Structure 1
């Protein structure tokens, strides 16, 4: 079986990461610090990637551009690995910051993977289905592959490597505890080495 070296990179800091609310989170852009983080991540790539996979969101494209500036001949593809939007941005639009925070807490306390908050939101079950599909597709790749994605999505992928990808309230609860205790930082790189379909080992993080 072919060897896969996989790097997962979270996009650089965005306006939303700074606490600015947006009812169009897919359109948020990198801040000056986020661009610095993306540049530093790109500088750690000292060999040409065989494939660069990015989320369709603007912040992932902006982060990927720093890598493409360094390795312009890299093959690039867009996969449906956008971030998990579990509360409806349009519903939250007129709520206070305190009310938004309360809704976030209530969502995770409810712990219902099949609940969907609106047409512009996604259930946890559908989110995990995308993560599972990503796992199915990524293990078929070979060579040096870089993925530019989002904190919760990439964390769910890592969590699934040791806990499986079958949705349940227990999975959802444990994931939330793990993700909030150790979130992926903006610009952080997770290096994974896949030698076969079942043997994923985390080499190191930077």
Structure 2
């Protein structure tokens, strides 16, 4: 049965409250790099493959594992964060600065709404979640997947609830994203079979309390 380890990136500059530019270039903090090293230490044998999103913070989190097992194949997949705010309108802002825009997006609850150039609709996001599960399911062996909080929550929701219409998926996800904690560098194991999928707990016990962040 294929095993997929779903890993959220380490603490990023945005998570730490810093002003950032484009979503795909947000780097890890020093704490984030330390968290990434702890993630790598959790692997006692090499996975069959390492997969990470095209966003810098996911690639940086995967780097210690890639260095530990340099012969393991790596791949970049579209498992990046759900970017529902138009990036150009929020250059140089902090997460707190974006709070009102985030609230307004989720109050709107329109799966086809697109905020502007460079933003995804919820339909786009949900299609990526579905595509990821279809693509990963037939792969033999274990996969280490470095992704992002909202994308990983989308995967969890899809596995737990099964197929959903996009309007229902968005309604459920609006609550799910707030209810399910997925700290930086936390991980979840997903076992897939032809008939079923099995989810483990979201784990962050590999990090001491002083290194936990969201």
Deviates more, 1:33-42 or 1:169-178: 169-178
How far the C-alpha of 1:57 sits from its partner, in A, is 1.0
CA contact (8 A) 2:21 2:92 kept: no
The yes-or-no answer on 1:203 pairing with 2:200 is yes
SS in 2 for 1:7: strand
TM-score after normalising by structure 1: 0.92
Deviates more, 1:94-103 or 1:56-65: 94-103
How far the C-alpha of 1:97 sits from its partner, in A, is 7.2
Per-residue Cα deviation, 1:63-85 (whole angstroms, up to 9, x for no partner) = 11110111111111111111111
How far the C-alpha of 1:99 sits from its partner, in A, is 6.2
SS in 2 for 1:68: helix
Q: Which residue of 2 aligns with 1:146?
A: 144
Q: Which residue of 2 aligns with 1:32?
A: 30
The yes-or-no answer on 1:168 pairing with 2:166 is yes
How far the C-alpha of 1:19 sits from its partner, in A, is 1.6
How far the C-alpha of 1:98 sits from its partner, in A, is 6.6
CA contact (8 A) 2:19 2:93 kept: no
For the residues of structure 2 that align with 1:96 and 1:4, how far apart are their CA atoms?
Answer: 39
The yes-or-no answer on 1:55 pairing with 2:58 is no
Query: 5+ unaligned residues in a row in structure 2: which ranges?
Result: 204-214
How far the C-alpha of 1:184 sits from its partner, in A, is 1.3
Q: Which residue of 2 aligns with 1:155?
A: 153
SS in 1 for 2:125: helix
How far the C-alpha of 1:167 sits from its partner, in A, is 4.0
Query: 5+ unaligned residues in a row in structure 1: which ranges?
Result: none
Cα RMSD over matched residues? 1.8
Aligned length: 203
How far the C-alpha of 1:205 sits from its partner, in A, is 3.2
TM-score after normalising by structure 2: 0.89
The yes-or-no answer on 1:15 pairing with 2:16 is no
